[in-house]
Amino acid sequence: MKKSIKNVIVNVVTILLALSVLFVGVMLVSGTKGYAVVSNSMYPNLKKGDGVFVHKTEFSQLKEGDIVTVSFKKGGGTYTHRIYEIDYENKTIVTKGDNITETDRETAEEKQIVGKVLFSVPLVGYVSMYITDVRVVAAIGIILLLLMTATAVLRFQKKPRGDKNDE
């Protein structure tokens, strides 16, 4: 019974991990960029902590109501808001956060548009909000490595001598 529960857990974790790797692979290959939502300006449609996945889209394919990620004109950073008005002739858009009372101050030009939000995934944005240092990722890797090595060593030691399954 105990072993079957353990097997179920291992299988679930393996499937989740495989799906995560597949997801990351597809995102990398397709050129889709992930962003962490750090505010509630698009609440309730996007919440703080969500991850949004953005793909470069031709300007002519954009329409009012689409959610787009736009680079600020000055300085770094991006914001992800809904297209409120679109001017196909001048290739500019006016955006607005769903949770903001007015449209954004700057009209965004085509070159500022990073892309259209394809979908969002709840909570994954918190990973980047809390892991802000490459050293933390490295530390997580080292801890995992140590834990798994320790587990493997313990399991190896517990095996009775001559266990054919281990051959």
Partner 1 sequence: MTNKKKTVKITAVIASVILCVAYFAMMSPTTAYFYKADTSKLDVTFSLFDVSQNVLSVEDDLVFKATTEFYDFDEFLFDEVIITKEATVTNTGEAAARIYTRVVPDNTGLKYIYFAEKVSEEAEEKTAQDSSGEKGPIKTKIENTLNTFNSSFIKGISKADANTVLDNFNKKNDSEYVTVEKGESAKVTVILWADYETYKDTLNAKELTEITAKADIKIIATQDSDGAIPA
Residues that bind partner 1 (CB under 8 A): 17-18, 20-21, 24, 27-28, 33-43, 45-46, 51-52, 69, 72, 77-81, 97-105, 124-125, 127-129, 131-132, 136-137, 140-141, 144-145, 148-149, 152, 156, 165-167
Residues 96 and 82: beta-carbon distance below 8 Å? yes
Q: How far is the CB of 107 from partner 1 (least distance, A)?
A: 12
Name every residue whose Cβ is closer than 8 Å to that of residue 93 and which is 6 or more positions away in sequence.
62, 68, 70, 83, 84, 85, 86, 87, 107, 108, 113
Looking at beta carbons only, is 62 or 80 nearer to partner 1?
Answer: 80
Looking at beta carbons only, is 89 or 164 nearer to partner 1?
Answer: 164
Q: How far is the CB of 59 from partner 1 (least distance, A)?
A: 20
Q: How far is the CB of 9 from partner 1 (least distance, A)?
A: 14
Looking at beta carbons only, is 15 or 89 nearer to partner 1?
Answer: 15
Q: In the structure encoding, which two tokens stand for residue 64, read together?
A: 């009012």
Looking at beta carbons only, is 8 or 24 nearer to partner 1?
Answer: 24
Looking at beta carbons only, is 89 or 103 nearer to partner 1?
Answer: 103
> Taking Cα atoms as reference points, which of 64, 119, 117, 121 lies closest to residue 94?
64
Burial class (CB in 10 A: 0-12, 13-18, 19+), 107: middle
Query: Could you give the CA distance from residue 2 to residue 24 in angstroms, rounded to a whole number?
Result: 33
Q: In the structure encoding, which two tokens stand for residue 78, read together?
A: 């991006």
Q: How far is the CB of 34 from partner 1 (least distance, A)?
A: 4
Q: How far is the CB of 84 from partner 1 (least distance, A)?
A: 10
Residues 66 and 116: beta-carbon distance below 8 Å? yes
